[in-house]
C-alpha cells in the first residue's frame, strides 16, 4: 500500500464513558472514537473496530491504537470488561466474556455510525474476549486479530498445563487486585494490598480463603481459589471463554489471524486454534508466530537472548504493528484490494543462526529469520526420535541392553527454580524468555551456590554429542517416558535446550531453554479422572511441550532435561495424590526414568530437512 499521507487522515472525536447494558442489566463503560472534521463527528457509517479489555480503556497504548485506526476511517470502541475500572458488575475472570462481547456487538449494530461489520482486536485477555464472543457467532462480526490469547483449551494450556496449575495466575490476580475497583474506592484496602510482599506469599502456598494477599478483594480471591481447586477437566473447563475447541463447529467463520510467539504462554492456543479452524472454516484463517515473550513484538530480545533486528514486526513484516493490522482490516472491512489473501497462510520466525557472541546489551546473539509456510505443522518435518541413553546421552539410536534407570529424590520443599520460559504476567516472581540455565539471584527460589541447573541431583540431563551439521526443529514436541516412583503421584517435567559450546564470551557455554512441559502422573490416562500409581510399578507417560522453531547450529548440542518440578512456573506436586492447590501435604519421592531396550524413553522432535 502507498504510504499514509497526512491529508488523507481524519480528525478524531471521542465520546467517553458511554454505558452499554448487557442482558442481565449490568452496564459496561465504552469510549467511542469517531472520524471527525473540525471537532464534529462525520455523518455516515464506518467499519467498526472493538477492543474489550480488563486493563483500563484509557491506558495510553490502547488510546493511541484507537486514535490510529479512527484516523484511518474506522469507528473504534474501547470497553472496560465487567467489574473493571468504569464498568459495573462483579468480577469473574474469563467466563462472562462471551455473552458480554455478543451483547456489545448487538449494541454496536444499533448505532447510527455502524457500517455493518465489526472487527475485533487486542492482546492477551483482549484476545480471550474475542474468542469467547466468536463461540456465540455474533452476526455482525466481520474479522478478528487474536494476539496471544483466545484459549483453545485453558485446562491444557496457559491456565492448567499437563494437570499442573500455572502460578502466573496468582501474580496476575494480585496485580489486578491492586488495580481493582475496591482498591481505588477504599484507601485502606489499597494500602493493605500494596503492602504485601508477593515473594513471601509464594513461600506460603497454597493460599487460603481470607488468608491470602487477595483477602481484601473477595471477588479476586474467590475466582483464583476456585479455578486452582478445579484440577479435573469437566463442564467448568468447557465453558465459553475457557475452551474454544468445544465450540469450533459454531465458531465464527470470518477472516482471522491467530498470533503468538515461541516464548509466549499462548503458543499452543494459537497453533491449536489455527490447525482446527483452518480445516473447518473458509476464513481465511492465518497463523503468525514470532520469537517474542508475551506481547513484546517490538523488542529484539526474549529474556537474556537477542534474536536480531529482523525479529520485530516494525520494518520487517510491515511499517509497524498498527499498519500490519490496518492492511488486514482494510481488506476485510473496507474491501480494499490489497492482495492480502494471496499471502501464505503461515508466517513464522525460525530462531537460531546468530553469532553466539555477547552483544552490547550483554545478551546472547541467538539470531533467526522469518519464513512463510503453507501449513502448520510443516508437512515436510520428520518426527524424529532422540532416545535417552545411559550416562546422559541423547541419540537417534535405540538403546541396547538392560540399562538401569536413572533415579533422583524429588523433595517438594526444594523444587527446581524456574529460569525463563513461556510466562506472562509473572513479574516480579518469574521472568519470561530464554536464559542460560544457571541459578542466579534474579530467579526466585535459586540457591545461593548459583550453579547450573544441570548440576542439581534432581535434574537428569541427556544431550547429544556436538552436532555435525545444522538441525532445524519446527513444530510440536513431545516426550515419551517410562517412569516409576515411590509415591502414588508425582510430576515429570521436560525442557528442551540448545547448548552452545564454550566461547570467549561464554567460557562454560550457554544452555538456552527453548520449550518445556509437565505431566502430573495421576492424569496420565485421562484429564477427567485421576489414577494413582502403585509405588514401584513402571508406567509409560507422555509429556507434551509447547511448539517451537529453532535451528541448532553445527557444534551445538540438543539437550533434554527431566525433573519433577519447575517452580514458580507450576505449582509443586506434594506426591500425595492430593491437589497442591488445596492441600499443603508433601512427601519426598524417589523417581526413576528408564532407558533400556524395552523401555526406550525418547523425545520426538519435528526435524525439518535442510534444503
**CA-to-CA distance for 483 and 480, rounded, in angstroms?**
10
Pair 77, 32: CB distance under 8 Å: yes
Reference 552, options 498, 478, 510, 511; nearest CA is 498
**CA-to-CA distance for 242 and 250, rounded, in angstroms?**
15
Predicted local confidence at residue 4, as pLDDT: 46
User: Do 269 and 365 fall into the same domain?
Assistant: yes
Reference 90, options 210, 212, 217; nearest CA is 217
User: Which segments in the chain show pLDDT lower than 70?
Assistant: 1-7
Give a yes or no: residue 241 inside a domain.
no
Predicted local confidence at residue 3, as pLDDT: 41
Count Cβ atoms below 10 Å from residue 74 Cβ, excluding itself. 25
Residue 17 region by backbone torsions, left for phi larger than 0, else alpha for psi between -120 and 50, else beta: left
**CA-to-CA distance for 330 and 605, rounded, in angstroms?**
39
Give a yes or no: residue 242 inside a domain.
no
User: Do 335 and 473 fall into the same domain?
Assistant: no
Domain end marker among 318, 353, 373: 373
pTM comes to 0.96
CA 63 to each of CA 76, 92, 180, 346: distance values in angstroms, whole numbers, following the listed order: 10, 25, 20, 30
User: Do 551 and 409 fall into the same domain?
Assistant: yes
Predicted local confidence at residue 7, as pLDDT: 56
Residue with cell 487474536: 146
Pair 450, 438: CB distance under 8 Å: yes
Reference 362, options 290, 317, 306, 406; nearest CA is 306
User: Do 31 and 127 fall into the same domain?
Assistant: yes
State which H helix or E strand residue 103 sits in.
Answer: helix 97-109
Instruction: List the alpha helices (DSSP H) in 334-458.
Output: none
Domain end marker among 373, 396, 417: 373
Give a yes or no: residue 245 inside a domain.
no
**Would you mind telling me the total number of residues written for the chain in this entry?**
611
Residue with cell 484509557: 58
Residue 57, C-alpha cell as written in the block: 480503556
Count Cβ atoms below 10 Å from residue 213 Cβ, excluding itself. 25
Q: Could you report the per-residue pLDDT of 399-410, keeping only the tens digit for each? A: 998 999 999 999
Write a three-state SS string for 422-478: CCCCCCCCCCCEECECECCCCCCCCCCCCCEHHHCCCCEEEECCCCCCCEEEEEEEE
User: Do 504 and 562 fall into the same domain?
Assistant: yes
User: Do 424 and 463 fall into the same domain?
Assistant: yes
- Residue 419 sits in a domain whose CATH number is 2.60.120.260
Give a yes or no: residue 21 inside a domain.
yes
Residue 118, C-alpha cell as written in the block: 465489526
Helix, strand, or coil (residue 607): strand
CA 606 to each of CA 159, 241, 311, 434, 528: distance values in angstroms, whole numbers, following the listed order: 26, 31, 22, 20, 29
Give a yes or no: residue 236 inside a domain.
no
Reference 140, options 63, 69, 75, 73; nearest CA is 75
- Work out the end-to-end distance of the chain between its first and last CA atoms, rounded to an integer number of angstroms: 32
Give a yes or no: residue 239 inside a domain.
no
User: Do 48 and 121 fall into the same domain?
Assistant: yes
User: Do 451 and 361 fall into the same domain?
Assistant: no
User: Do 176 and 44 fall into the same domain?
Assistant: no
Range of the domain at 138: 6-153+253-373
**CA-to-CA distance for 451 and 429, rounded, in angstroms?**
20
**CA-to-CA distance for 123 and 136, rounded, in angstroms?**
20
Looking at the DSSP assignment, which residues form a beta bridge with residue 477? Answer: 545
Give a yes or no: residue 356 inside a domain.
yes
Q: Could you report the per-residue pLDDT of 333-361, keeping only the tens digit for each? A: 999 999 999 999 999 999 999 999 999 99
Predicted local confidence at residue 331, as pLDDT: 98
Domain end marker among 330, 352, 373: 373
CA 148 to each of CA 119, 158, 274, 295, 350: distance values in angstroms, whole numbers, following the listed order: 17, 11, 12, 7, 18
User: Do 504 and 600 fall into the same domain?
Assistant: yes
User: Do 169 and 149 fall into the same domain?
Assistant: no
- Residue 139 sits in a domain whose CATH number is 3.40.50.1820
Give a yes or no: residue 481 inside a domain.
yes
Instruction: List the alpha helices (DSSP H) in 291-428.
Output: 321-333
User: Do 443 and 589 fall into the same domain?
Assistant: yes
Predicted local confidence at residue 376, as pLDDT: 98
Helix, strand, or coil (residue 151): coil
Residue with cell 539410536: 397
Give the count of domains, the chain: 3
**CA-to-CA distance for 237 and 519, rounded, in angstroms?**
18
Amino acid at each position: 500500500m502507498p504510504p499514509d499521507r497526512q491529508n488523507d487522515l481524519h480528525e478524531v472525536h471521542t465520546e467517553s464513558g458511554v454505558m452499554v447494558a448487557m442482558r442481565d442489566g449490568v452496564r459496561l463503560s465504552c469510549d467511542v472514537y469517531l472520524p471527525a472534521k473540525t471537532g464534529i463527528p462525520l455523518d455516515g457509517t464506518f467499519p467498526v473496530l472493538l477492543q474489550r479489555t480488563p486493563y483500563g480503556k484509557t491506558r495510553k497504548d490502547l488510546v493511541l491504537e484507537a486514535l490510529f485506526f479512527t484516523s484511518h476511517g474506522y469507528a473504534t470502541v474501547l470497553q472496560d470488561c465487567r467489574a473493571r475500572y468504569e464498568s459495573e458488575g462483579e468480577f469473574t475472570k474469563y467466563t462472562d466474556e462471551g455473552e458480554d462481547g455478543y451483547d456489545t456487538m448487538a449494541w454496536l449494530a444499533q448505532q447510527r455510525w455502524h457500517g455493518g461489520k465489526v472487527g475485533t482486536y487486542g492482546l492477551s485477555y483482549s484476545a480471550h474476549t474475542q474468542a469467547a464472543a466468536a463461540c456465540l457467532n455474533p452476526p455482525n462480526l466481520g474479522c478478528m486479530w487474536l494476539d496471544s490469547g483466545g484459549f483453545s483449551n485453558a485446562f491444557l494450556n496457559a491456565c492448567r498445563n499437563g494437570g499442573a496449575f500455572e502460578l502466573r495466575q496468582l501474580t496476575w490476580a494480585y496485580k489486578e487486585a491492586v488495580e481493582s475497583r475496591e482498591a481505588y474506592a477504599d484507601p485502606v484496602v489499597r494500602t493493605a494490598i500494596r503492602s504485601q510482599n508477593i515473594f513471601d506469599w509464594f513461600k506460603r502456598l497454597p493460599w487460603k480463603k481470607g488468608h491470602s494477599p487477595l483477602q481484601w478483594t473477595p471477588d479476586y480471591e474467590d475466582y483464583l481459589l476456585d479455578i486452582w481447586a478445579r484440577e479435573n477437566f469437566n463442564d467448568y473447563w468447557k465453558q465459553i471463554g475457557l475452551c474454544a475447541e468445544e465450540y469450533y463447529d459454531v465458531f465464527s467463520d470470518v477472516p482471522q489471524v491467530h498470533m503468538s510467539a515461541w516464548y509466549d504462554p499462548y503458543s499452543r492456543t494459537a497453533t491449536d486454534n489455527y490447525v482446527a479452524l483452518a480445516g473447518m472454516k473458509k476464513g481465511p484463517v492465518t497463523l503468525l508466530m514470532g520469537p517474542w515473550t508475551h506481547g513484546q513484538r517490538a523488542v529484539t530480545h526474549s529474556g537474556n537472548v537477542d534474536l536480531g533486528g529482523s525479529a520485530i514486526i516494525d520494518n520487517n513484516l510491515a511499517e509497524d504493528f498498527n499498519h500490519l493490522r490496518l492492511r488486514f482490516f482494510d481488506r476485510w472491512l473496507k474491501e480494499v484490494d490489497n492482495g492480502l489473501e494471496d499471502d501464505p497462510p503461515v508466517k513464522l520466525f525460525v530462531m537460531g543462526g546468530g553469532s553466539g557472541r555477547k552483544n552490547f546489551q550483554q545478551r546472547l546473539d541467538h539470531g533467526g529469520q522469518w519464513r512463510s509456510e503453507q501449513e502448520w505443522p510443516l508437512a515436510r518435518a520428520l518426527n524424529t526420535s532422540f532416545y535417552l541413553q545411559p550416562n546422559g546421552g541423547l541419540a537417534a539410536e535405540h538403546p541396547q541392553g538392560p540399562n538401569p534407570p536413572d533415579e533422583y529424590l524429588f523433595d517438594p520443599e526444594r523444587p527446581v527454580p524456574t529460569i525463563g520460559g513461556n510466562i506472562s504476567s509473572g513479574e516480579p516472581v518469574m521472568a519470561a524468555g530464554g536464559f542460560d540455565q544457571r541459578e542466579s539471584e534474579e530467579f526466585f527460589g535459586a540457591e545461593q551456590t548459583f550453579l547450573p541447573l544441570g548440576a542439581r541431583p534432581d535434574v537428569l540431563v541427556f544431550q547429544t554429542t556436538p552436532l555435525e551439521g545444522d538441525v532445524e526443529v519446527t513444530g510440536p514436541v513431545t516426550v515419551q517416558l517410562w517412569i516409576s516412583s515411590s509415591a502414588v503421584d508425582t510430576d515429570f517435567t521436560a525442557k528442551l535446550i540448545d547448548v552452545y559450546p564454550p566461547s570467549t564470551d561464554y567460557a562454560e557455554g550457554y544452555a538456552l531453554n527453548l520449550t518445556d512441559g509437565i505431566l502430573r502422573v495421576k492424569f496420565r490416562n485421562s484429564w477427567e479422572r485421576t489414577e494413582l500409581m502403585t509405588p514401584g510399578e513402571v508406567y509409560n507417560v507422555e509429556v507434551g511441550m509447547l511448539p517451537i522453531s529453532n535451528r541448532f547450529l553445527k557444534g551445538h548440542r540438543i539437550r533434554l532435561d527431566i525433573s519433577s518440578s519447575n517452580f514458580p512456573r507450576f505449582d509443586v506436586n506434594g506426591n500425595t495424590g492430593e491437589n497442591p492447590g488445596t492441600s499443603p501435604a508433601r512427601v519426598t519421592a524417589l523417581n526413576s526414568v528408564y532407558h533400556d531396550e524395552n523401555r526406550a524413553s525418547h523425545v520426538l522432535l519435528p526435524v525439518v530437512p535442510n534444503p
